[in-house]
């Protein structure tokens, strides 16, 4: 099964979790991070460069070979997303008693 919300183009016959009756979707994230305390001007320069890179036709073509969809999320927004995901999975870990 595919855990994302839509089927992968590379394996179009493989159904999603939702198509199999599960109320679940999980996206894989790839990230580029920088050290804590990075000066704001450098952070802004890097964020602008990566925001443009995910629009570049060569980047999109390379990503498509892996059925990936590059998307830029700025640092503060990504930190909030990671916090939300951490809280989501913490509930699962606790509920399933996966942690001592």
For residue 89, what pLDDT is reported? 85
Residues of the chain with pLDDT under 70: 99-100
Task: Please report the pLDDT score of residue 100 as a whole number.
Answer: 60
Distances, alpha carbon 35 to alpha carbons 38, 62, 77, in Å: 6, 27, 17
Strand partners, 16: 2
Say whether pTM exceeds 0.75: no
pLDDT value of position 96? 85
Among 47, 91, 94, CA closest to 72: 47
Average pLDDT of the chain to the nearest whole number: 90
DSSP 49-95: HHHHHTT-HHHHHHHHTTT-------HHHHHHHHHHHHHHHHHHHHH
pLDDT of 18:
92
pLDDT value of residue 9? 84
- Per-residue pLDDT at 94: 86
């Amino acid at each position: 099964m595919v855990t994302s919300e839509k089927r992968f183009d590379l394996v179009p016959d493989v159904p999603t979790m939702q198509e199999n009756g599960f109320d679940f979707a999980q996206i894989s994230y790839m990230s580029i991070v920088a050290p804590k305390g990075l000066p704001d001007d450098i952070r802004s320069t890097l964020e602008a460069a990566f925001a443009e890179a995910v629009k570049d036709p060569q980047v999109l073509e390379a990503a498509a070979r892996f059925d990936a969809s590059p998307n830029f999320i700025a640092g503060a927004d990504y930190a909030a997303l990671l916090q939300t995901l951490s809280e989501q999975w913490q509930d699962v870990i606790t509920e399933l008693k996966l942690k001592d």
